[in-house]
Every structure is written in C-alpha cells, then in structure tokens.
Amino acid sequence: MIERPGVRVWDELAAGYESWFEAPLGAFVIDEQVAALRRILPHEGPETVVEIGAGTGHIARMLRSWGFRVTAVEPSQPMREEGMRLSSGSGIHWFEAIAEGLPFEDHAFDGALFFASLEFIADPEAAFREARRVVKPGGWIVAGILDARSPWANLYRAEAERGNAPWTAARFFDPSEIQQVAGWEAEATEGAVYLAPTADPPFDHADRLAKDAGGHPSLTLLRWRTP
C-alpha cells in the first residue's frame, strides 16, 4: 500500500464515493463533465488510454464504454478496490502507483488522462513528465482541473479550512497555471458546470445563466499533443 497524506485522505471515502452522482445535482454535474470530456478527446476507441488517479473508476468506465482500451492507475487501495469491484468484467486494467512513477514502458499509450486528480498529486510537474513519457509521439494528454477561479473551488477551500477530506490535501489551479505546470501550451480547452454549488433546479437553466454571465466553469479540460 502506498503511504502518502494525499493518498490516505481518500481511503475512508471509497465506499460511498459514487453515491453523490446519484443525487440530482451530482447527476447533472457528472453528465456535464462527461459531455465536455467527450468533446475534447481527439478520438474515440479503440485507442489505449491510461487514467492517472482513477479513483473508483467512474470516468474509466465511461472511457471503456466509448471503446477505449483503459488502464487505470490509483494509489489508494480502498478506492482502487472499489473501482475494481465496480468495473469487474469490463476489461479495465488496474495498477497501484503514484502519478510521479508510472510502472509502464515509454510510449505505451495513445493518450493519458488526469480527471480532477492533479489537485491531489504531490508533484504535478513530475506527473506531467511521466504522462508525456508513457504517451506515444503525436499522442495526447488531457487534464480536467477543478478550476481555481470557480465558486466550486471556493467551496472546496472552505471545506479544507473546516478540516474536511479530501479537500485538506487539495491544491487548485487555473488554466494558465496548469499549462505552466505541464511545460507547454494546450491545443484545446473545454469548460463544464458554470452554476454555483448552491443553485436551485432546473440546473440546466441555472448553468446557462451562469455561463452567459461570464462565470468560470467548475471543471476546465485542456488537451496537449505530445511531440
């Protein structure tokens, strides 16, 4: 088992982690995020993709349903075991590893994905170097970040101040900062979920109003091409 504070904060959250997606707001949020992810992916399956910080595999299962051949990396044993249980029989391959030390050969994948995981990685610069190493030349890296400028990030910061996991271990980025971390400029961006976390339904209407008012998305996705 990997021991690191940013990993351990997830251990006790594994069993009920995906229950939030079943609530009305959670269902709206994940649907919007997944739609934005699908828009920014340069291809669909059967490309090989590694998700780095896969949690319980919600996104990994989506990728698999789109035809990708998916490898999921998750350092938290309880999260990984829950992900393996939920994805049993799907063909997703699970590995225990940290983002800064991936157990794969150079150029092993067509693409790599960070989805709301860079916030909890101790050395995101090293994580990007590893992602770049394991992706083929001309392949892609996509990062979905919990945008530091959004009201959702403000909520998560308040949760951290109250001592609530996993936000006590989080660090938030805006798009310009994450491009500095990556070391080169992204070729494409997408945004998802503009409504505030306190918004009332209908959520699609609240989301449109917030976007039209110039609000920042709670999730910003960026895509890079590997040289």
Closest by Cα among 108, 112, 82 to 94: 82
Helix axes 77-86, 58-65, angle to 10 degrees: 30
Q: How far is CA 177 from CA 34, 67, 163, 173, in A?
A: 23, 32, 25, 6
Overall domain count for the chain: 1
Prior bond of 42 cis (ω within 30°): no
The count of other CB atoms within 10 Å of the CB of residue 150 is: 25
CATH number where 186 lies: 3.40.50.150
Name 188's bridge partners. 223
The phi and psi torsions of 146 (rounded to 5 degrees) equal: -80, 95
Alpha-carbon gap, residue 75 to 4, rounded angstroms: 9
Q: Identify the domain containing residue 165 by its residue range.
A: 5-225
Cα–Cα separations (whole angstroms), residue 82 to 58, 64, 79, 100, 183: 10, 17, 5, 23, 34
Between strands 69-73 and 48-52, the pairing is parallel
Q: How far apart are CA 220 and CA 92, in angstroms?
A: 25
Helices and strands, number each (H, E), in the chain: 8, 7
Exposed (0-12), middle (13-18) or buried (19+): which is 193, by Cβ within 10 Å? Answer: buried
Spatial neighbors of 125 by CB under 8 A, at least 6 apart, are 181, 183
Q: Report pTM.
A: 0.95
- One digit per residue, the tens of pLDDT, for the chain of length 227 reads 444 545 567 777 888 888 989 999 999 999 999 999 999 999 878 899 999 999 999 999 999 999 999 999 999 999 999 999 999 999 999 999 999 999 999 999 999 999 999 999 999 999 999 999 999 999 999 999 999 999 999 999 999 999 998 999 999 999 999 999 999 999 999 999 999 999 999 999 999 999 999 999 999 999 999 98
At 170-214, the pLDDT tens digits run 999 999 999 999 999 999 999 999 999 999 999 999 999 999 999
Residues facing residue 73 across a β-bridge? 52, 95
- Specify whether the CB–CB gap between 111 and 88 falls below 8 A: no
